[in-house]
Structure 1
Amino acid sequence: MEEEKAPRSNRNQLIRTLLYLKNRFDLHEGKEDELATIDYIKKNVEFKGANLWILIFAIFVASIGLNVNSTAVIIGAMLISPLMGPIMGIGLAAGINDFELLKRSLRNLGVAVFIAILTSTIYFNFTPLDDAQSELLARTEPTIWDVLIALFGGLAGIIAGSRKEKSNAIPGVAIATALMPPLCTAGYGLATMNLYYFIGAFYLFFINSVFISLSTYLIVRFMKFPKKEFLDHKKEKRVQTYITIFTIITIVPSVYLAYGIVIRSIWEEQAKTFVSQEMVFPRTQVLNSNFTYSSSNKTIQVSLIGDQIDQETIGLIKEKAVSFGLTDTEITINQNNAGITDMNLLRSDILKDLYERNEQIIQDKDQRIALLESEVANYGEVRFLGNDIAQEAKINHPKLRKFTLNRSLVTDLEKEKTDTLLVAYAEFSTKPSASETKKLTEWLKLRTKADTVGLILN
């Protein structure tokens, strides 16, 4: 008897635990009447009057925030924005078979998107600050994280909207999913005639909108919101068919595109891991690395500086790429042609060069030693202050992405003379103008107190 009671007691305990969890996670607890929730979402769908002006002003605020690279201003603009209304309206309409609401939501979303892009384009056409800041560049290409944020943010938004007591979840969703900055970035792309920025930013907005609508649709179906009733059953079937076709046309391509984003994100992470783990050498460093991904072309380009790496080693490194999941990936390794096998020899050559350059000017032995020590100190100072100089250069040149500074031996083949040259490598997000290049060169001369600076641009 006791043996029979034990399993029965365990079953009762399991049932109590399941009931407890069910009550804890019950979405119907504290739920607003479904019709009231439907009316609440419908009211926020329309874009006219005050809603339209609020959107315009919010777009101006967001554009300014992107322009001056202010995260706080961008967040404030997203709190003001009423863009969530028609997007959630689309998901609700699909969930309750309301074709009229679907058309109204799509029409209002189209108006909102057009006004938003037009407003931001006007702003970026007249602003004196035309550099693409980091906040703006972050909205030019969607990642897997954007898809996940839109999906889970949309779920949080519709659940919060269906409660009797409204919380601050919907404004939070608007901030998390970042609907406005991509539209402002699309406007920047039009203003600067940069098609890549426009397409990338609009693509990000589209992905966010679809997955927020999908989240709304799923919760509406799960919570069994009442569907729109039709007196004419033929019309009801026709509307259901239209809704189904629209849902398939919208969701299937979006899921396919989201899948592509996932694959690309995984590939990029694998490529970065491959470079950081396998491109490690005693006397050679990775100067920069570029990753290019498309369905037909996957490329890793790595630039090395220091000792030359032999072809056998490079071949072994490329073979290891397969173990990182980098199949069908072209790996290009660029090396400098001035490989020095002995670092002591490099130091000796520098000291010799410094001595010969100043021998005719300075006759006293003590002065000669002092000068050499000063030159060597300057060499080391430039090397160790490279990061500080890079940060300062970024302030003057916001488009600067990568920067390095060092002294190198340069041989003049015509004069048969070897000299030291301060060499700077700079990589910009967009090709710098001639005036900006000159400005950077002159500033480096002044900052490093060098007579000549060799500037390599990428």
Structure 2
Amino acid sequence: MTKKYLVLYDAKIDSSAFEQEIKPLLPDACEWVAYQGQSLEGLSPSSPVLTWLGDEDLCQILPIASAEKWQIGFIPHPEMVRAYRAFFIPQKPSDAIEDILAATDATPADLMLCNHEVVLGTVMIGNPDIMKPAALVDESLWCKFKNLMLLTFNLKKTCLLPYQFLTKKENQVNTAALGITIVYRPGNSEFTKRVVGETEKDEATLNAVILAPRSISEVLHFLLTRVLPKKVFAKGTLPNYLGHIKTESVKVSGNDLVDFSIDGVAHHAESVNVSVENDALQVLSKTMPEKVSSQDQKESVRVDRLPKGQVVKELVTQHLPLIHHADQEEVKEVFMTLRENAQASEAYLVLMVLAILLATVGLFANSSPVIIGAMILAPLMSPIVSLSMGVLRQNGDLVATSAKTLFIGIVLSLFFGTLLTLLTPLYTVNSEISARLSPTILDLGVAIISGIAAAYASARSEVAKSLAGVAIAVALVPPLGVSAIGIGWWDWNVFSGAFLLFMTNLVGIVLAASATFLVMGFSPFHLAKKGLVLSLTFVVIISIPLGFAFKSLVTEQRAAMALKDLTIEGVVLKDVSIRNDDPIYVSVKLLSEHGLKSEQINAVKSQIETRLGESIQLEATTAILKK
């Protein structure tokens, strides 16, 4: 016996598509009802109901279907956008109808409501311009990039808004946010899917993701995740500027009327009440996900890193800064950590000795991997960053403790490095040693950039793991190792060149880290001014020899490039290297088709001197090239 169905079809649009494509696929024993927005109150069909309706009409029908306990099936409609995701409807009408007719029993499905209105996709609360990209599920890459550029220009005028949350189990959250996205199923929104992750089973809960950045840089990070290749955060982890509430219902209110949207339609209200009705619908489908038992559902409130207390008041009264400024709690926490790092603990002393021994062995062995290991092992970065904070805040105790710990580390390094040098019968300046004998202004640039990174990583616990990379970049211990080798060899040039590199790194880090802490809000400018001027003075002083060294390096490189592949009287110059000396030292390989006599080499030397405009010392290696 053929099963009978009541079919609600959209009569407000051209129904020729329905007559030609949909109706022939349905059983003949169907009752047809043309829907034009009329009231269906009191309609109590004895047979299952099939709908060929768009999202807007479905939002009007579904509360009635829930109240009247209809068994309902969904047929794809031209104006159906969000319902596809909400009820896992096949895109092709033939597939959808086949799925409906194959369903012997209806599958219970939940229904999400916002202020008594049906939500098929998302509820967006807050700044509509910022949250709009999160609402666009299927936008193109160009559309995402365009939104990013438009939003970037308006960020300086952006402020957070205060919100109060009350969950089903009476958990209260008071914070400031740029926007809030609420969905039933995390996969219904690209934004929530990448924050929460997709779920395999449905739960009668909603998911509220709170966007609460404290700076423009954090907003840009959020926006860039909409433009760059998709990334789903690992389950259980959230960026500092995001919060997640999972509950059966939530009430969101603010100090004034709350701006929000339901599936892209703007609304205003004193509060936003979002809830999930468990098993509200009976859906004819075999593709709906499996439901989790209500007894296994747990409420989850993950908002520990969101603004709270006095910070909320500060954020809602000012525009977002370029980068996050630390509040008093963060200043206190970071300051206490740096105070501990400034101590010359037993671990610090042991690691310092091991690091310098490892670095010295690596330098003698001309081994980069061993030297990199020593860089990571060395604990010198901690007291230097602590010294930067002490200089910035004019804290005498922190400066004294950090300087003492740093001094002890330097003395230990020079002592044990010198001792190992005296025990090692090697006296060759290899490439690893020579690389640290002629610091230039470029090395100061490395130190400054590393100092910025070190201060930022120290102030942000979530990026503290990057300190190992900073230690490798700035390379504090190898120059001390070379300095110790210079003492052991009693070679002033080796010691002075390497120690100048160490001092370059030290003053560069102190200045850059102090300036970074200042920008991040760890000290008022009037307090930091004296320390910054003092640090800058040291940087200027040490920049003088670095500048001369850089000028010499540029001159050498230009001269080498001028001679590269040059042909002089049938002789080709290869592998040219120049070292500043008195007179200038030129090393070159001379290629010719026959052996070179002393007179020919002298002629090449004379031509090189003419091109460089000064006398040279020539080290020439000859080679015969046969064609």
Question: Which category describes the TM-score, using the shorter chain as reference length?
Answer: 0.5 to 0.7
Q: Does 1:176 align with 2:461?
A: no
- In 1, the alpha carbon distance for the partners of 2:583 and 2:402 equals 40
Q: Does 1:332 align with 2:605?
A: no
Q: Which residue of 2 aligns with 1:264?
A: 552
Q: Does 1:27 align with 2:323?
A: yes
Instruction: Give the superposition deviation at 1:75.
Output: 1.4
- In 2, the alpha carbon distance for the partners of 1:319 and 1:190 equals 40
Measured against aligned partners, the alpha-carbon deviations of 1:69-119 in whole angstroms (never above 9, x if no partner) come to: 222221112111100022212222222222332233222212211111111
The equivalences for 1:26-425 within 5 A come to: 26-28=322-324, 33-226=330-523, 243=531, 246-276=534-564, 278=566, 280-283=568-571, 285=573, 290-292=578-580, 299=584, 301=586, 306=596, 308=599, 321=612, 330-332=614-616, 404=621
- In 2, the alpha carbon distance for the partners of 1:206 and 1:18 equals 42
Instruction: Give the superposition deviation at 1:18.
Output: 2.5
C-alpha distance 104-227 of structure 1, shift in aligned 2 (>3 A): farther
Measured against aligned partners, the alpha-carbon deviations of 1:114-166 in whole angstroms (never above 9, x if no partner) come to: 11111100111112444333222222221344222212122111111111324
Instruction: Give the superposition deviation at 1:13.
Output: 8.8
SS at match of 2:570: coil
- In 1, the alpha carbon distance for the partners of 2:572 and 2:513 equals 53
Q: Which amino acid aligns with 1:24?
A: L
Instruction: Give the superposition deviation at 1:298.
Output: 7.5
C-alpha distance 205-283 of structure 1, shift in aligned 2 (>3 A): same
Q: Which stretch shifts more, 181-190 or 265-274?
A: 265-274
C-alpha distance 276-109 of structure 1, shift in aligned 2 (>3 A): same
C-alpha distance 257-42 of structure 1, shift in aligned 2 (>3 A): farther
C-alpha distance 292-93 of structure 1, shift in aligned 2 (>3 A): same
Q: Which residue of 1 aligns with 2:153?
A: 18
| Conserved 8 A contact 2:568-2:604 | no
Instruction: Give the superposition deviation at 1:315.
Output: 7.9
- In 2, the alpha carbon distance for the partners of 1:314 and 1:134 equals 27
Q: Which amino acid aligns with 1:254?
A: I
| Conserved 8 A contact 2:325-2:521 | no
C-alpha distance 244-178 of structure 1, shift in aligned 2 (>3 A): closer
User: Tell me, which stretches of 5 or more residues in structure 1 are unaligned?
Assistant: 1-11, 229-235, 322-328, 335-401, 408-458
- In 1, the alpha carbon distance for the partners of 2:529 and 2:441 equals 32
Equivalent pairs counted in the alignment come to 311
User: If you compute each CA radius of gyration, which structure gives the higher value, 1 or 2?
Assistant: 2
Instruction: Give the superposition deviation at 1:19.
Output: 4.2
Q: Which stretch shifts more, 56-65 or 180-189?
A: 56-65
TM-score by length of 1: 0.59
SS at match of 2:541: helix
Measured against aligned partners, the alpha-carbon deviations of 1:291-339 in whole angstroms (never above 9, x if no partner) come to: 216xxx7835467863656999988866655xxxxxxx624375xxxxx
C-alpha distance 18-256 of structure 1, shift in aligned 2 (>3 A): farther
Measured against aligned partners, the alpha-carbon deviations of 1:334-362 in whole angstroms (never above 9, x if no partner) come to: 5xxxxxxxxxxxxxxxxxxxxxxxxxxxx
Q: Which residue of 2 aligns with 1:456?
A: none
Q: Which amino acid aligns with 1:291?
A: R
Q: Which amino acid aligns with 2:324?
A: H
SS at match of 2:461: coil
- In 2, the alpha carbon distance for the partners of 1:96 and 1:142 equals 30
Identity %: 25
Measured against aligned partners, the alpha-carbon deviations of 1:197-251 in whole angstroms (never above 9, x if no partner) come to: 11111011110111111110110121121359xxxxxxx99x975x366325412
Q: Which stretch shifts more, 206-215 or 275-284?
A: 275-284
Q: Which amino acid aligns with 2:440?
A: T
C-alpha distance 13-276 of structure 1, shift in aligned 2 (>3 A): closer
- In 2, the alpha carbon distance for the partners of 1:134 and 1:317 equals 26
C-alpha distance 292-48 of structure 1, shift in aligned 2 (>3 A): same
| Conserved 8 A contact 2:362-2:368 | yes
Instruction: Give the superposition deviation at 1:265.
Output: 2.4
Instruction: Give the superposition deviation at 1:280.
Output: 4.7
Q: Which amino acid aligns with 2:403?
A: L
Q: Which amino acid aligns with 1:16?
A: L
Greater length-normalized contact order (CA 8 Å, ≥ 6 residues apart): 1
| Conserved 8 A contact 1:30-1:164 | no
Q: Which amino acid aligns with 2:516?
A: I
TM-score by length of 2: 0.44
C-alpha distance 118-246 of structure 1, shift in aligned 2 (>3 A): same
| Conserved 8 A contact 1:278-1:317 | no
- In 2, the alpha carbon distance for the partners of 1:105 and 1:49 equals 15
C-alpha distance 99-61 of structure 1, shift in aligned 2 (>3 A): same
